[in-house]
Amino acid sequence: MSPKSICVYCGARNGKNATHAHSAEALGAAIAREGWRLVYGAGDVGLMGLVARAAQQGGGDTFGVIPTHLLAREVGKTDLTRFVITETMHERKKVMVMNADAIVLLPGGAGSLDEFFEVLTWRQLGLHDKPIVLLDSDGFWGPLKALLSHVVNEGFAEASLLDFVQSAPSAEDAMAILRRAVG
């Protein structure tokens, strides 16, 4: 049985709140300690770089996927266990999800939200049944969780949509969810 792989979506920036950087480092280190593989966007900047470096420092397996047009902008981290270059963002997202057993969303911007909504939509449509976890450090994802509830309350999605997403206030809590979900 091969080790589990955790896809982490997160910002290419650190953001203003240092708690998010600490969460990224804690998650990367915890994934490595568990003997799992980190699957992420292959950047060496922002939270992406922090989660990857923490996983590497912990001796973890790292699988990065980056499209050609972001190699310079996101500073492609070529010292990963596996470094994959794709032609498009769509291809990047597909390769990441197909090589993961679960998804964790750390704080991030529009790109992270795009990745989250794509995997949530795919889950809603039955295209996968992988756990999706919001690492809600310092309440960052509170507005997103409120939006998802609003969408359900307004009748644009079944209540089951909310069951597809779990929330954890810390990396430790996210790991507990992942252990139960993917063992």
Average predicted confidence (pLDDT) for the chain: 96
Residue range 18-49, pLDDT digits in tens: 999 999 999 999 999 999 999 999 999 999 99
Q: Say if pTM beats, i.e. exceeds, 0.85.
A: yes
**Confidence category of residue 58, pLDDT binned at 50, 70, 90:** very high
Residue range 118-136, pLDDT digits in tens: 999 999 999 999 999 999 9
pLDDT at 1 over 70: no
Q: Which domains does the chain have, with CATH numbers?
A: 5-182 (3.40.50.450)
Residues of the chain with pLDDT > 90, as a percent, come to 93
State the Cα–Cα distance between residues 72 and 59, nearest whole angstrom. 26
